[in-house]
Chains A and B, each alone.
Chain A
Amino acid sequence: MPLIIETENLSRVFKSYKKPKGLLNSLKGFFSRQYESKIALAPTTLNIEGGQVIGLVGANGAGKTTLIKLLSGLISPSTGTSKVLGFNPNDRKNEYLKKISVLLGQKNQLWWDIAPVDSYDLLGKIYDIEAKEVDRRVEELAEIFSCTDQLQTQLRRLSLGERMKMEIIGALLHRPEVLFLDEPTIGLDIVAQNVIRNFIEQYMARYKPTIILTSHYMDDISRLSDRLLLISEGKIVYDGNVDEFTLRAETKQKLMIVLGSPTQEAMEFSGIGAISVGQKLIDLSVPAKGSGEVISRIAKFNVIQEIRIEESGFEEVIHEFLAKNVRHGKVGRGLTV
């Protein structure tokens, strides 16, 4: 697959005004202000092949949206270079903008005061698509979403889920080669989230664009992504396959063991927890690799009546990984789990 996105030491630093508390400081700030610089994205080198879905994951303020803004040409880099589809995004050439699409889940990009059909008509003119072709594409996408009935309703009168469907149709109308989806399922209920995920899967299978997806819902990432980029404090801390990440991560299992009779002796498991005398129900969170050993130790001194094992979800694994990296200050490209 050819490289679609290439960056070399791409970074962005934001400058912000610091105002200490109080009226006097407001007055001081009127004449002289103190600014501080914050690294939103540390120098980042990336190569992304075409036709993949890249899951970009990180906490709030980690730098995910900054990376999307840089790659889409919305903001200029402080250092470094980037190429998307052979274009420098920062040039914001119309030829480039016609090949990409950015869906910002927290912002309306269609026009609030008019019906989606009128918005699509305008988008057709902006992207230079024939009116008949616009109608055909809208019909096709609206059918997949089962939202043909809402196309003629003023956008402001639609529910959040319906609006998101309309936004996605608008974002795909010109058949972008690279699609940046920033929180496409934010605020939606579980049913609506699933509809969006199914739609992205179907669209991906049919048109094979390159998708950069950010989401706080790890189900989006685990189900849709071919490759995972974990970002923390402006740095890429993991870059690899989703399954490999889950396998290699120190996943935990939740063990619930019901004993035949209350325990007669206390047991200590290093770094896991303790079992006190008289307990019948044992509830432990253990590293996946060590669960067998824990069970066999317990089985030696008591009869096990029932065992329940729950695997950690992908979301917990990611959160734990990111929290661990922040705690240990282990941030840097290529860091493995």
Chain B
Amino acid sequence: MSFWRKMYGTAKLAVVSQFEYRINLFVDAVIQPLIGSLIEMAMWYAIFSSLGQLTLAGYTRDYYLVYALWASFFSRISANWMYEFRMIDEIESGKINGLLLRPISFYEYYLGQYLGYKSLTGVFSFLIPISVCLVVSSPVQLIRLPLAVSLLFYYVIFIHTVSFCIASLGFFFNKIHSVTIAKNISIWLLSGEIFPLDLVPDPYKKILLWLPFSSGVFVPTGYLTGRLQVSDVVLGFKSVSLGLCVSGLVAAIVWRQGRRVYSGTGA
């Protein structure tokens, strides 16, 4: 009960804080993913125009356009760099002291905020692709949205654990923002944000699908847009579960060791 009250409290904190800065929230939830979608859709439009053929790897242009539309929004919701930077800054500057002295863990505190913030932006963000799909005929099956979003939020917990792990390295090295950027660039490719992972030849495709990162963008977007089936989503849940176990174990070790060397900076 206490855990859920804390989760609710921190999620509410994130929502209340975001509502204080309306323009920032609007740009983050709507404009940014919209720009991403438009760029990717323009890219696929150009590819099909220059190819002079109706299908690519068995899918028509509409499949790629609708994938580009949704992938950008899934990617924005699963991205955690903003909270990862905050966690790193808190450790580097010593602001974390205020949290370490309270009966809530750093992991819980940021997980609650991250989930709250993503729920808020998710509501605003998804209105755009949903509206487009209701107006324009597309291969999207909106009935699949709840399962796709469930996988996305399960993935969000995993990616938060990875972020926690990276942020905890701050106890040893202070400035580690470059690690976050390197991780983000890798995830663009591994998650299927730039292009659908089924374009990758076997056996690399299988490896990528087994990695949990594909559950952030490719699996939920592919399932929603008709490229993947329920079995692929189930595989996604399994790979994220495995990823959670591994990242959770590493995070616990790094955190514990990091706390030992921490000097309580700045207080």
Q: Which residues of A contact B (CB under 8 A)?
A: 14, 65-66, 69, 72-76, 92, 94, 97-98, 100-102, 104, 106-109, 111, 113-114, 118, 121-128, 154, 182
Among B5, B13, B98, B262, which residue has the most Cβ atoms of chain A within 10 A?
B98
Query: Is B95 on the interface with A (CB-CB < 8 A)?
Result: yes
Report the minimum CB–CB distance from A179 to chain B (whole Å): 12
Q: Is the CB of A113 within 8 A of B98?
A: no
Contacts of A65 in B (CB 8 A): 264, 267
Residue in chain B with minimal CB distance to A102: B101
Q: Which residues of B contact A (CB under 8 A)?
A: 2, 5-6, 8-10, 12-13, 16-17, 20-21, 94-95, 97-98, 100-104, 259-260, 262-264, 266-267
Q: Is the CB of A182 within 8 A of B6?
A: no
Contact pick for B267, options A14, A74, A100, CB 8 Å: A74
Contacts of A107 in B (CB 8 A): 94-95, 97-98, 266-267
Q: Is the CB of B16 within 8 A of A109?
A: no
Contacts of A69 in B (CB 8 A): 97, 264, 267
Contact pick for A125, options B6, B95, B98, B263, CB 8 Å: B6
With contacts A75-B263, A92-B100 known, is A114 near B8, CB below 8 A? no
Complex-state Cα separation, A118 to B18, whole angstroms: 13
Report the minimum CB–CB distance from B11 to chain A (whole Å): 10
Q: Is the CB of B16 within 8 A of A114?
A: yes
Contacts of A127 in B (CB 8 A): 102-103
Q: Is the CB of B9 within 8 A of A125?
A: yes
Given contacts A125-B6, A125-B9, 4 further A-B contacts (CB under 8 A): A69-B264, A108-B98, A126-B6, A126-B102
Q: Is the CB of B260 within 8 A of A113?
A: no
Contacts of B2 in A (CB 8 A): 128
Identify 27 residue pairs between A and B in the complex whose beta-carbon atoms are under 8 Å apart, listed by A's number. Answer: A14-B263, A66-B264, A69-B97, A72-B101, A73-B100, A73-B101, A74-B101, A75-B262, A75-B264, A76-B260, A76-B262, A94-B103, A97-B103, A101-B101, A102-B97, A104-B97, A104-B98, A107-B267, A109-B98, A113-B17, A113-B21, A114-B16, A114-B20, A126-B9, A126-B102, A128-B103, A154-B20
Contact pick for A122, options B10, B97, B264, CB 8 Å: B10
